[in-house]
Amino acid sequence: MKSYRYVARSKSIAARALGDVTMVMSATDSKLFTLDEIASVIWQAADGVTPLNEIVANKICTQYDIAPEAALKDAEAIVEDLAGHGILLLSDQPLAEQGNSRGGTL
Amino acid sequence: MSGLALEMAAKALKLNIPLSVQLDLTYRCNERCVHCYLDHDDHGEMTTAEIKNLLDQMADAGVFYLTLSGGEILMRRDFFQILEHARLRTFCVKLKTNGVMIRAKEAKRLRALGVESIQISIYSHRPEVHDAITKVPGSLRNSIEAVRFLRTQGLHVVLANVLMVQNAADYKGVRALAAELGVRCSLDPTVTPMMDGDRSILSLNVDQAALREVFRNGDLVGNVEEFCAPPSAVEADDLDSLPCSAGHTACYVSPYGDVYPCVQFPLPSGNVRHTRFVDIWRDSPQLKEVRSITLRDMPSCSKCAHGATCTRCPGLAYMEGNMRGPSSQDCEKSYARTGIPSENFKARHASQQPFQSLKLVQIQGLQPANQNFAAKAEQVHAVGA
């Protein structure tokens, strides 16, 4: 049986799109991060209920010239990194919406 | 500010995005500080719905750093509704408060809502001094209790001290108190004019000797030799530099919806009750004028030895009558740091015009004239740990 990974934005962060990047600040340690264009796409799509592989297939592979396997591998590295900073939540089960889907894009 | 934060500020400047906004929710207050520049009556504050709508507009415009201040923010019964909405729109929220109304329950709620930091005004470690400044007996005790409640929740707290004649000897005591409480502290050596142009409270400013002492305290300024070094020569690049973030990547909104370049720069630039926030930000002739000014356009400051290193506040200059002119209070600070008089000082000395004779402008809001000059975001007035 195929396993899925689900990602959701943490509600303890502040975030805003700034041009083609996203500024993110963790409220727990006030550390500031910027997400590049592709990480921003994952961030925006991290609703807790869409599996990561679907996000990659529908939001990344359709927009960027990248092989699905390589894109998923990169995406998994990105979400692991963001989860390590408490910016994203990761689970093998669907997660309730943790952030604000309106997000404040420009 | 970190390298990444500076990089983001530069990007916001390039994209004309208002990265930081200070929103004063009310001018009402439960303290009556002797140095306060506010009229504490309510002349028609924005409603909860108006503020939520404004927050939506600001999020869509790209505002990231949101400072909620006043007055005392917790005097608004809808404060937590507003804060909840701000966090729903993922702002990085900083609060300025005296903390008197923050107890265990409020601290827990602030933690749950993910506030980035809370700045609490503390003017002395001694109750007889702090309470005399706030004119509220027991206020120091209540504010310190608030800090402890917030720290129990793991929240970031900054003690904000304003240096004035009443507490000039106490800033070291406040720093020791901050260390005991496990929080940071800042010290602002500038008392600014009242919103209506009344300059009587300027008499509370400390004298040159006290400023010199503060600027030579390594605990406050870091490398004293570097901080107090004679100014470097003004280069061609310096002449094209921008004064500060006011109107460039930051602005201020009053409880009545008036938009200004900064909390300390009372140039009425629009009102969000009549015009969309983003339209004011992009199209206001006043903000465009502020953005057009570089050091090259300042007749006195461009010729001043301190031109490249001065902390000149354009808002204080505006309140002296000319946003392209010098800010005498910053001339005072440059002199206290380096012992070298500014061009403005030399000209005043030549004309024998004392500082106290300066004519300050009367501040006119678009709504009933109210403005808060509490603190100026991202301007180097505060020296602190």
Q: Is the predicted pLDDT of residue B298 greater than 60, yes or no?
A: yes
State the Cα–Cα distance between residues B74 and A18, nearest whole angstrom: 31
Q: Is the predicted pLDDT of residue B361 greater than 70, yes or no?
A: no
B-chain residues near A25 (CB < 8 A): 64, 92, 116
Query: Which 3 state secondary structure label does DSSP give B81?
Result: helix
Check residue B42 and give left, alpha or beta (phi > 0: left; psi -120 to 50: alpha).
beta
Contact A18 B62 (CB under 8 A): yes
**Which residue has better confidence, B108 or B303?**
B108
Q: Which residue of A has its CA nearest to B90?
A: A14
In a domain, A103, yes or no: no
Lowest model confidence (mean pLDDT) among A27-41, B165-179, B248-262, B316-330: A27-41
In a domain, A73, yes or no: yes
Q: In B, what residues contact A, Cβ < 8 A?
A: 2, 4-5, 7-8, 11-12, 15, 17, 19, 59-64, 87-93, 114-117, 154, 156
Q: How many domains does chain A have?
A: 1
Phi, psi at residue B195, to the nearest 5°?
-60, -30
State pLDDT tens for residues B41-98.
899 999 999 999 999 999 999 999 999 999 999 999 999 999 999 999 999 999 999 9
State pLDDT tens for residues B88-106.
999 999 999 999 999 999 9
Q: Is the predicted pLDDT of residue B360 greater than 50, yes or no?
A: no
ipTM of the prediction: 0.84
| Nearest CB to A14 within list B2, B17, B64 | B64
Q: What is the pTM of this model?
A: 0.88
3-state DSSP helix/strand/coil % of chain A, to nearest 5: 35, 25, 40
In a domain, A104, yes or no: no
CATH number of the structural domain spanning residue A36: 3.90.930
B289-B292-B295-B300 Cα dihedral, nearest 10 degrees: -30
Contact B92 A11 (CB under 8 A): no
Q: Is the predicted pLDDT of residue B375 greater than 70, yes or no?
A: no
Q: How far B53 CA sits from the closest chain A CA (Å)?
A: 13
pLDDT at B383: 34
The residue segments making up the domain with residue A11 are 6-87
Phi, psi at residue B298, to the nearest 5°?
-105, 105
In a domain, A56, yes or no: yes
In a domain, A57, yes or no: yes
Amino acid at B374: A
Amino acid at B317: A
In a domain, A92, yes or no: no
In a domain, A98, yes or no: no
Contact A14 B93 (CB under 8 A): yes
Contact A16 B156 (CB under 8 A): no
A-chain residues near B110 (CB < 8 A): none
In a domain, A82, yes or no: yes
